[in-house]
Structure 1
Amino acid sequence: MVVRRERPGDVAGARAVQVAAFGRELEASLLDRLRVCEGWMPPLSFVACSGEEVVGHVVCTRAHVADTPVVGLGPIGVAPGLHGRGVGAALMHTVLGAADALGEPLVGLLGDPGFYQRFGFVLAETVGVVPPEAEWAPHFQVRTLAAYDPGVVGAFRYAAPFEDL
């Protein structure tokens, strides 16, 4: 398996992985809308490939905490037959390292804290970041990066397509 930046020829494979991973179109449709919004960040869209086949995909898009630019992670998906084989972990390490190298201050996501804490995520409210929806608080997390400033506090806003979910 190789993890690399997404290329134009990977779009259909990345979309197919999201559909297979979640068993529905919602995340793939979100991905379609993210690709054409101003929040799209090509340097933070990665695929995991087995040969030429896309078997995993992750993306971060521009988000904000109050007025500070940050990134929102997701969707992330792995082909169902490869769950538990390190594909998701490889994608996470790659995208977090890339976001850090780009000087991003933090990454936010909605997900299972039991899974994402291994990548350094903490509940957002512990660092003063307010989830987009109050009921998300037990699952909305952030990972601070090298450029993090503890003064970055306030409401988290994903890229516009997330608001249509």
Structure 2
Amino acid sequence: MQDLDIISVNIWHIVISLANLVILFLILKKLLFKPVKKIVDKRQKEIESEYKKAEKTQAEADAIKAEWEGKMATAEAEADKIISDAVERADSRNEVMLYESREKADQIIRKAKADIERERKDARETIKKEIVDVSQTLSEQIIGREINMDDHRDLIDKAIDKIGEEQ
């Protein structure tokens, strides 16, 4: 039976081993688990704090981005308005210049027509006068005597008017 003593189970050894294990567990828990747990909890709080800071920073960045996009939209709208105002001013200037140039052209045409009409009247009067002078000279030579100038002019004016009406 000696062989069985070596293999046999001794209850007191098991109880003492379990008691040693529990004591060792309690000592380790007191010395290691609680401080490690505190460190882990502290780290967890720091990480949560960093996440909160990151979320806050992200929110601020989003707000700044939204503000910037709003300013860009406003700037684009202002640029479009400035461009449209410039186009409108250019169009109105173009219309004014076109109107003024038409007015000047009309004035030049009216003046030219008036000058032509005046020149025509002057030329007609000059031609009448020359015709009167020539016809008077011819009439004097043909008749051999002097004709009254007023009578002669009346006759020639009537003849010229008849010629002008026929044309």
TM range (shorter): under 0.3
Structure 1 or 2, whichever has the larger Rg, is: 2
Larger RCO of the pair (alpha carbons < 8 Å, separation 6+): 1
TM-score, structure 1 normalization = 0.17
Higher helix share: 2
